[in-house]
Chains A and B, each alone.
Chain A
């Protein structure tokens, strides 16, 4: 009885667009859904450092190196921010990271694709961050307060990331024939995985049900995907690159682009750990974490010594 009343009040708050805060009552499923989604988001930020870090040492100018390093640093910051927000749901960063380490928790599959040329730094910024922004802009209105506020800050930085990526693509597209070819090749490889970042079609999406009712999700996968495609096609045209989809065409009636069918077999293969870099990304994270263990232990031992010295004094 008690819970039914609480649930009713909870839903009334949601319907009235009042944010849910950490100390408020919430259904266990709401908490679990957010723990999963926010930690996945945080994990994506830190695993996402790797494919870009892959070109950091080879950035072709000092300016591009600094911009890329600043961007990767922002992502680490976003990770930190999101873990803190997710901790308000009663689970520690260590617990979330343990789930990443063991492969129990997921992160965005896009980071399981390799970055093969410098143009991929353009494609990742333009398309991957571009797709992420569309999703995150919508999440600024999500019902959980700490998550919504985190998104406001993160969105500001992400739009700078997308411009950074687009700038690389634009420069390469108007550069030498080799550079243009590299840019087109990066677009070809990243286009489909990017539009699949929004997840399965609404009709096949297992996590949509309550998430919409509880306003965790403010737009569906297909709506977000369409909005990303509609704004990106024109950006490709401006810099003279071709989106690798023969079925892509403007639909006057819908006021949107129609596009071809995505390869969902590939999507699910990658989600289930069969991406070109899936093992590599996780191993990299785990190696770094394990290599840092003696450092974390030392820091803890030092802090404890200082504490006991203070107590004696």
Chain B
């Protein structure tokens, strides 16, 4: 594997995670618990789509085969996506969305902080810009986590259940392979073992304030690095890719 090949995969991981989570946020449109939340969830979605466009465009440029952000978003198959498993978890109720987004934004927040010092200028600039956005995403999900955890008995139980249910997807966030090895050696990527304790701190602090219990590590889902996903991803892609697939020669 060359550095460029590794870099393409790395950009797809970042870009796909933002894209898939963005699509999940868009699913909330007109369904928020209050109007203000509809606006906030759309805002997060807009940030994520923006992040995704930067990374997919960059991946296409490095690849050098003329593939655009749209080719990469709309014309790849299920097994060619590298978003982490957490990002594709279905929205469920509002609390499930909050927990999923917290686990993810606590990850990207700590990752982008370090990644903004990457030797790759585009990745460094991407991380610095995205950090401002995910700082807000983390605050948003963190505050809701605390409100729901320390709200009513019903909300506490609901969100504790979501924490328990989603915990098995947290392992996949920190999975690494030869892509990481190669790019860490080049000072482009970050060793995720360095991110794990930071993520733990962020999560532990919020769980405590939310009066919630951190689950014990047990069985962990894995596979995103090899394009192995849950069944949910295929459905998301089917919907998202419908028009470019139905009219392959049309421009939109």
Contact = CB atoms under 8 A, between A and B. Distances in A.
Contacts of A80: 35-36, 39
Nearest to A285: B30
Nearest to A292: B33
B161 to A, nearest CB: 13
A302 B150 contact: yes
Nearest to B38: A76
Given A66-B46, A299-B151, A302-B151, A53 B252 contact: no
Contacts of B162: none
Nearest to B26: A56
Interface of A: 46, 49-50, 53, 56-66, 69-70, 72-73, 76-77, 79-80, 83, 118, 171, 175-176, 178-179, 284-285, 287-288, 291-299, 301-302, 305
A77 B39 contact: yes
A297 B30 contact: no
A118 B251 contact: no
A45 to B, nearest CB: 10
Contact of A61 (B26, B70, B147, B249): B70
B171 interface: no
A66 B52 CA distance: 11
Given A57-B26, A62-B52, A69-B29, A298 B34 contact: no
Residue among B29, B70, B154 with most chain A CB within 10 A: B29
B107 to A, nearest CB: 23
A178 B244 CA distance: 13
Interface in B197-252: 239-240, 242-244, 247, 249-252
Contact of B154 (A58, A77, A292, A294): A294
Nearest to A42: B35
B80 interface: no
Contacts of B240: 57-58
Interface string B45-65: 110011011001000000000
A296 to B, nearest CB: 6
B252 A60 contact: yes
B249 A176 contact: yes
A135 to B, nearest CB: 22
Given A292-B33, A299-B147, A302-B147, A60 B74 contact: yes
Given A60-B244, A73-B42, A176-B250, A295 B94 contact: yes
A25 B104 CA distance: 53
B209 to A, nearest CB: 11
